[in-house]
Each structure stands twice: as structure tokens, then as C-alpha cells.
């Protein structure tokens, strides 16, 4: 069956097209025979759209026929096959199509060309092997695997606080990796101080969540910040364990077909804790990587013996890795405990480091200290010097120390979230660090709560916390004309860096009355464009704003017709193919059929029945103008989202709204 046919089946059946970043997740158990068949990834294969992808099945009787089935629907906790003469066997997916595997000795291989899809496609696989001794039916079944195509690597921030932290570990809650102990990802600490311990990652079976922990078992400080990288599905990524046969002294040798004979690769490594009988787990020594001429290795920088059963998350930055720039950098001049990478990276680049010994065949230097990335902004002293990233060390760094540096663009897939303001009596609420254009809309009733009205114009503010010698940037939402009510909530959409966006600043030359005229190729003369506007902290324009298109020109306009003040600043995002493929948008007109009083109800198949959706709204002047601050809410009774006036004024018929939302990938 062709990839196109597979995709058509998925779409016609209504299965979700997802973008969760993953390559190969195994789940379930096999049955039949002394050792049931085991489905594993072919380590030389890469899961990419339009490319052939191979899966191997081990423990196959020599020469026995085997079939690999694929399905779009997960059938967990499994469908019993006992009535078919296969007691103890379970079918783990919908089995929409099957292919004959090629058997070589006790290993069978199945290959399928992956569909070409814009967002990603979730597939489930399981093998069936003919084995007369397995059971009455003569068929043994393997475990199952979940495959997700995603061409883009993604990153996110994680902050430890009292609600997600216990003892020396803090819990990650990321749908992509929740419940998946074989997930591969990187975690890098970024916050200042807290040099007492290195960190690793651990899968907590009791809560089916990944955690980040401190290797020396000391308490995880509240406020500790970590950057997490989810590699794209095609990247060379795997978990690696030290064993008696691959470990000598302080060195673990990696034997992987994607890495062997490849000195050109840039490896990034995060320590992995393996809990269980006989596994050591904790690993306090700083680590680095080294290519020994044939194989890549991981070693302890302080030359201490490698712990028994030490484990690692390994990601190779190669031709299959997307969204990042990588290089090996060697220090020449040390200033205190750190050094500059030598390249001016974007202010909000997301940086990962792994020490490397003797890069490019050069001289090797041991640095038995912890390293982490730091963004340095000398502009507070020298305005003409741009910000740059540096590698900071827990002690005096040795000249010649080298690191692999991976520079990620911030949120190439964009991010959506709900933010709830805490406390009261403040006009400002701080949100997580963001980089791409940010859009916010008040959200009255998150989690089905009674809700809080917030009739305030909200501006986005970029703040600087000076903690010499570093300047840390944060973002916040700031209310005009009063304080933010305690418990007020907001829908946030952080667009990707490649989004078509402009910052508009009002001046005498581009304003007339209530309007600020925009000029952009994607807007000029295009009355059918869809765009979104977000006020930025500036001149204190305490008026509800929206967009208007007239005579081929687009404007940001004060909807209550108040004059546009000079210096008012706005972020305008234009909806086009430069937004992430998971983002969607539409126009909504307020009509007598969908509006009553202060509310106009949305009726869209992607949003109906989805209280977990994230959406932001911009007003557009249609045949009428709505001069009020708006918010969104979800009605559990009607299972519909709606837009409403925060001051409960009637929504006029003829007012229009632009709605931006994300399709949550499954």
C-alpha cells in the first residue's frame, strides 16, 4: 500500500495528524515461543517523511515468515487473541495494513516508505511471526511500537517550583514524553548559581513522568531553570548504557552504526539514571565526549571510574538533525570561569553544551568541572557591544577546554499555554521566558472554573533583571488603568521565529486620528489577509485596539475612536504559511444567529468539544466596530467557545474577529 493511500486512510478515518517529536517508542509485550519476538528500531534507519523506514524483529525462528502490521489507532491495553488460538497474545493497534518482512537468520526486517505530511503522522506497528510451537494457531506476536514523523526539533523551558519538585528532583509534564520511558531528550541547566551538583534525567514509573534530578542528592532549589530539547524524529538519538564489555576505567565506548567512523558529528549528552536492582544510578563526575579514531566515547573528566551501569541520553547533530546549528569551540582566552563562544547568536537562542576532548584531532584538555551556557549582555556597560553567549564553568577553566555547542532557534514549532495570574493588587503578571512574537487574549474560565472578568487593556512587556555580570530577560503582561484581578487567566500563543511579523510604532507620519497605518508586502492591497495585533508596553494607549482594512491599506485602530498617541507600539502577526503547520486561523462575524448580548459563539469543528484548545482573538472592524476589551470562554454545556465583551456590553452585529488557534497533535 502506498504512502499516499495510508495518508488518505488516516484522514478519511478522522485520525489526528500529530507533531509530537519522537522516533520509536516501544510498548506492550509479545507472546509465543520460549522468547517472544521483539520489535526494535533499525539503528541505521531514520524516520522522515517520504523516506523508507525499517523496523527489525528479533527472536524469529530461522527462515520463518514474518509480517509487520501498521495501524493508525492505538488499541491499548490490547485486544485479546485467545479466541484465535493465541492465549496470552494481544493485538496492540488497529492493524490497517501489513507487509511481508525479510528474514535473515533470526532477524526479520520490514520497510515502509513514510507518508509525506506537513505536521507529522502517528503510526503503530507490531509483528506476527509464524511459529508452529508458539500456540495452537502457530503464530507468535511481538511487542508494539509507536512511530511519529516530525521534521523539526523543539525546545521548552522548565522551572522547578514547589508544585513540581520533591527532594532532589523536579517533574516534567510534556505530553510528547509522558508515559514513555524510552524517550530520548536533552536537559541543560541554565539558571545562575546552584553549582553544587550536576543534573541528570530519570523516568519515575510511579507517576509515568520524566524528572530532572541533582546527582549529589541535594534538594532541588526552587526557581532552577532547565532547557529541554526534543530531537526531531529523523535525528540519530538513543539511550546508551555502560557495561563490562564497553567500559574501561573512566571511558564508555559507544558502538552505534550512525556514529561509527563519523568524527564529524557533534554529540550532545545528558546523564540518565536507571533505577532497578544492581544499577548504580547516581553519577556525579563531569563528563565529556571523545572520538578515539573509530568510535565515539563518553568519559569522566576527572578520570574517576565510570559508575557501573551508567546511562546516557545521546543525540548526534548530523545531516538528519533539524533546526539547530552546531560546532566544536575551543577556549583561547578565559575570563574568570567562562569564555565567549565567539559567534553572536540570537538573544533568545537556546543553547546546549557537552564537553569534548581533542576536537578535530587537536590537543585534548581535561576540564574536571561542570559547564553550562550563559547569555552575557555587555550593553549595560558598552552599548555598542551586542549580547553573546558564553560557556561558564564551576571553577577556573583550563585554556584549551573544548565544548560542543548546539544553538537552537527558540520554539520553531511555536508554543501555546494558559497563564493564570497569582496574587492581587498588581498591574503586572510575569510569564515564562518567550522569544517569538507573543499574542495574548483574556480567558475567563480555565479548567471549567467560574471565571474572572478582566476588562483591562493588556500590554506585553519585556523586562530585564540585572544580576551582574548577566542580564536576564523575562516577559510579563501589564494591565492599563488598574490592577489585574487575582485569578485572571490568559490564552498565550508564542509564534515561531519565522512567522511573518512586524512591530509598528505610531508617529506623526503614520497616524491619522485613531488609526496607525501599516505597510507590509503581505498586507498592502490584500483585503483578504488575516492578521493579529498585540499591544506592547509603550505610550500607555489605554484603548481597545483592532485592525481595519480600507482602500487597500491596513491599520491598527483604537476601536473607541480615541486618537492614536505617538509612541504607541504594537506587534502584528500575519497568518500565512510561515506560521507552524499546527496553527490554524479563521474569520468570525458576529451575526444575529450566533450572538446574544455580550457574547458571540464560535462554531468550528476543530474547537467544538475541545476545552483544552488554545486560541487568541483580534478584533477587526467590519460593518460595525466593537469598542470594548474582549476575552474568550468555553461553555461546557454547549461545548462551544465564545468571544465576549469583558464589561458585558452587547456585541454589535457586523463586528468581525480573527481567531488563531493550534491543532493539538495526538
- Asked if the model's pLDDT at residue 327 lies above 80, the reply is no
- Asked if the model's pLDDT at residue 497 lies above 60, the reply is yes
57, exposed or middle or buried, with CB in 10 Å at 0-12, 13-18, 19+? buried
Residue matched to cell numbers 444567529: 593
The pTM (predicted TM-score) of the whole model is: 0.65
pLDDT per residue as tens digits for the range 188-199: 988 655 666 889
Q: What pLDDT does 119 receive? A: 52
pLDDT per residue as tens digits for the range 448-485: 888 899 999 999 987 655 444 334 456 789 999 999 99
Range of lowest pLDDT (149-163, 247-261, 320-334, 519-533): 320-334
Whole-angstrom Cα distance, residue 175 to residue 194?
28
Range of lowest pLDDT (16-20, 99-103, 395-399, 540-544): 16-20
Q: Which range has highest mean pLDDT (67-81, 184-198, 512-526)? A: 512-526
Q: What pLDDT does 411 receive? A: 58
The residue that leads in pLDDT, 218 or 600, is: 600
280 falls in which pLDDT band (50, 70, 90)? low
Whole-angstrom Cα distance, residue 581 to residue 390?
33
- Asked if the model's pLDDT at residue 322 lies above 80, the reply is no
326 falls in which pLDDT band (50, 70, 90)? confident
For 12, the enclosing helix (H) or strand (E) is helix 3-12
DSSP state of 115: P
pLDDT, average across residues 136-160: 86
Q: What pLDDT does 182 receive? A: 86
DSSP 130-197: E-TTTSTT-EEEEEEEEEE---S-EEEEEE--TTTEETTEEE---TTTTT-TT---EEEE-SSS-TT-
Whole-angstrom Cα distance, residue 146 to residue 22?
9
Range of lowest pLDDT (259-268, 435-444, 592-601): 435-444
46 falls in which pLDDT band (50, 70, 90)? confident
- Asked if the model's pLDDT at residue 122 lies above 80, the reply is no
DSSP-based three-state secondary structure for 360: helix
Q: What pLDDT does 279 receive? A: 62
The reply to whether omega before 469 is within 30° of 0 (cis) is yes
The CB-side HSE value for 323 (13 A sphere, CA atoms) comes to 27
Structural domains present in the chain: 3-148 (2.60.40.10), 415-494 (no CATH), 500-662 (no CATH)
- Asked if the model's pLDDT at residue 269 lies above 60, the reply is yes
In this prediction, what percent of the chain has a pLDDT beyond 90? 51
pLDDT per residue as tens digits for the range 560-573: 999 999 999 999 99
- Asked if the model's pLDDT at residue 278 lies above 60, the reply is no
CA dihedral for 524, 527, 533, 537, sign (positive or negative): positive
45 falls in which pLDDT band (50, 70, 90)? confident
Whole-angstrom Cα distance, residue 519 to residue 288?
51
DSSP-based three-state secondary structure for 440: strand
11 falls in which pLDDT band (50, 70, 90)? very low
Q: What pLDDT does 661 receive? A: 95
The residue that leads in pLDDT, 324 or 223, is: 223
Residue matched to cell numbers 491495553: 77
The average confidence (pLDDT) of the chain is 85
Q: What pLDDT does 468 receive? A: 40
542, exposed or middle or buried, with CB in 10 Å at 0-12, 13-18, 19+? middle
pLDDT per residue as tens digits for the range 609-648: 999 899 999 999 999 999 999 999 999 999 999 999 999 9
- Asked if the model's pLDDT at residue 356 lies above 90, the reply is yes
23 falls in which pLDDT band (50, 70, 90)? low
The residue that leads in pLDDT, 7 or 530, is: 530
Is residue 379 a contact partner of residue 425, using CB atoms and an 8 Å limit? no
E-strand ranges in 260-319 read 266-273, 287-291, 296-300, 311-317
CA dihedral for 648, 649, 652, 658, sign (positive or negative): negative
Q: With CA atoms as reference, report the closest residue to 229 among 354, 62, 89.
A: 354
pLDDT, average across residues 400-408: 86
E-strand ranges in 421-514 read 428-431, 438-443, 457-467, 470-480, 489-494, 500-505, 511-512
Q: Which three cell numbers stand for residue 309?
A: 551501569
596 falls in which pLDDT band (50, 70, 90)? very high
User: For residue 168, what are the β-bridge partners?
Assistant: none
Range of lowest pLDDT (329-338, 352-361, 363-372, 383-392): 329-338
Q: What pLDDT does 6 receive? A: 33
* Phi-psi region at 443: left, alpha or beta (left = phi > 0; alpha = psi -120 to 50): beta
pLDDT, average across residues 213-231: 90
The CA distances from residue 170 to 185, 188, 203, 352, in Å, are 16, 13, 11, 19
For 381-420, letters b (16+ CB in 10 Å) and e give eeeeeebbbbbbbbeebeebbbbbbbbbbbbbbbbbeebe
380 falls in which pLDDT band (50, 70, 90)? low
pLDDT, average across residues 393-414: 78
Range of lowest pLDDT (15-24, 91-100, 362-371): 15-24
DSSP-based three-state secondary structure for 221: coil
Q: What pLDDT does 432 receive? A: 65
Range of lowest pLDDT (20-29, 73-82, 627-636): 20-29
Q: With CA atoms as reference, report the closest residue to 283 among 195, 197, 352, 396.
A: 197
Q: What pLDDT does 471 receive? A: 42
116 falls in which pLDDT band (50, 70, 90)? low
Q: Which range has highest mean pLDDT (57-66, 221-230, 333-342)? A: 57-66
Amino acid at each position: 500500500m502506498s504512502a499516499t493511500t495510508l495518508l488518505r486512510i488516516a484522514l478519511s478515518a478522522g485520525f489526528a495528524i500529530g507533531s509530537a517529536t519522537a522516533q520509536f517508542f516501544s510498548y506492550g509485550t509479545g507472546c509465543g515461543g520460549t522468547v517472544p519476538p521483539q520489535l526494535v528500531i533499525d539503528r541505521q534507519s531514520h524516520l522522515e517523511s517520504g523516506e523508507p523506514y525499517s523496523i527489525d524483529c528479533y527472536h524469529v525462528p530461522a527462515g520463518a515468515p514474518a509480517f509487520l502490521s501498521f495501524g493508525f489507532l492505538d488499541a491499548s491495553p490490547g485486544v485479546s487473541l485467545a479466541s484465535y488460538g493465541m492465549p496470552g497474545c494481544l493485538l496492540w493497534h488497529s492493524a490497517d495494513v501489513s507487509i511481508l518482512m525479510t528474514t535473515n537468520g533470526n532477524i526479520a526486517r520490514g520497510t515502509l516508505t513514510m507518508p509525506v505530511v506537513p505536521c507529522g503522522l502517528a503510526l503503530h506497528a507490531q509483528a506476527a511471526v509464524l511459529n508452529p510451537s508458539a500456540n495452537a494457531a502457530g503464530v507468535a506476536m511481538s511487542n508494539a511500537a509507536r512511530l511519529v514523523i516530525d521534521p523539526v526539533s523543539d525546545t521548552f523551558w522548565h522551572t522547578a517550583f514547589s508544585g513540581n519538585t520533591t527532594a532532589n528532583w523536579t517533574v516534567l509534564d510534556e505530553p510528547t514524553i509522558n508515559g514513555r520511558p524510552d524517550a530520548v531528550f536533552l536537559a541543560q541547566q541554565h539558571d545562575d548559581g546552584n553549582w553544587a551538583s550536576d543534573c541528570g534525567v530519570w523516568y519515575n514509573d510511579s507517576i509515568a513522568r520524566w524528572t530532572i534530578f541533582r546527582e549529589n542528592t541535594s534538594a532541588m532549589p526552587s526557581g532552577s531553570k532547565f532547557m529541554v530539547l526534543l530531537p526531531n524524529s529523523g535525528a540519530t538519538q538513543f539511550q546508551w548504557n555502560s557495561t563490562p564489555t564497553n567500559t574501561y576505567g573512566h571511558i564508555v565506548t559507544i558502538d552505534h552504526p550512525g556514529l561509527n567512523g563519523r568524527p564529524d558529528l557533534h554529540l550532545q549528552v545528558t546523564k540518565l539514571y536507571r533505577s532497578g536492582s544492581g544499577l548504580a544510578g547516581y553519577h556525579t563526575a563531569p563528563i565529556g565526549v571523545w572520538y578515539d579514531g573509530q568510535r565515539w566515547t563518553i568519559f569522566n573528566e576527572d578520570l574517576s571510574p565510570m559508575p557501573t551501569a551508567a546511562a546516557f541520553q545521546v543525540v548526534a547533530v548530523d545531516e538528519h538533525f533539524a533546526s539547530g546549528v552546531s560546532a566544536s569551540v575551543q577556549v583561547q582566552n578565559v575570563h574568570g570561569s567562562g569564555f565567549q563562544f565567539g559567534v553572536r547568536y540570537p538573544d533568545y537562542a537556546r543553547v546546549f553544551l557537552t564537553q569534548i576532548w581533542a576536537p578535530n584531532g587537536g590537543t585534548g584538555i581535561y576540564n574536571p568541572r561542570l559547564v553550562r551556557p550563559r547569555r552575557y549582555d555587555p550593553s549595560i556597560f558598552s552599548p555598542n557591544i551586542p549580547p553573546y553567549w558564553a560557556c561558564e564553568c564551576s571553577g577556573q577553566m583550563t585554556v584549551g577546554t573544548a565544548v560542543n555547542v548546539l544553538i537552537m532557534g527558540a520554539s520553531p514549532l511555536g508554543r501555546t499555554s494558559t497563564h493564570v495570574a497569582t496574587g492581587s493588587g498588581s498591574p503586572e503578571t510575569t510569564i515564562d521566558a518567550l522569544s517569538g512574537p507573543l499574542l495574548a487574549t483574556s480567558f475567563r474560565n480555565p479548567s471549567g472554573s467560574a471565571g474572572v472578568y478582566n476588562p483591562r487593556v493588556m500590554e506585553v512587556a519585556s523586562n530585564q533583571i540585572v544580576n551582574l555580570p548577566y542580564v536576564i530577560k523575562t516577559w510579563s503582561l501589564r494591565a492599563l488603568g488598574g490592577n489585574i484581578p487575582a485569578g485572571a487567566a490568559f490564552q498565550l500563543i508564542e509564534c515561531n521565529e519565522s512567522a511573518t511579523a512586524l512591530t509598528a510604532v505610531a508617529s506623526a507620519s503614520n497616524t491619522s486620528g485613531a488609526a496607525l497605518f501599516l505597510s507590509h508586502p503581505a498586507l498592502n492591497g490584500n483585503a483578504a489577509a488575516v492578521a493579529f495585533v498585540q499591544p506592547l508596553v509603550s505610550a500607555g494607549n489605554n484603548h481597545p485596539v483592532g485592525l481595519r482594512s480600507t482602500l487597500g491599506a491596513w491599520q491598527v485602530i483604537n476601536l473607541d475612536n480615541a486618537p492614536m498617541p505617538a509612541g504607541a507600539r504594537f506587534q502584528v502577526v500575519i497568518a500565512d504559511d510561515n506560521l507552524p503547520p499546527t496553527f490554524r486561523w479563521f474569520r468570525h462575524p458576529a451575526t444575529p444567529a450566533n450572538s446574544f448580548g455580550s457574547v458571540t459563539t464560535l462554531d468550528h469543528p476543530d474547537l467544538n468539544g475541545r476545552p483544552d484548545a488554545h486560541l487568541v482573538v483580534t478584533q477587526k472592524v467590519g460593518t460595525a466596530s466593537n469598542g470594548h476589551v474582549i476575552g474568550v470562554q468555553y461553555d461546557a454545556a454547549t461545548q462551544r467557545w465564545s468571544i465576549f465583551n469583558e464589561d458585558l456590553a452587547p456585541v454589535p452585529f457586523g463586528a468581525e474577529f480573527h481567531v488563531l488557534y493550534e491543532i493539538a497533535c495526538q
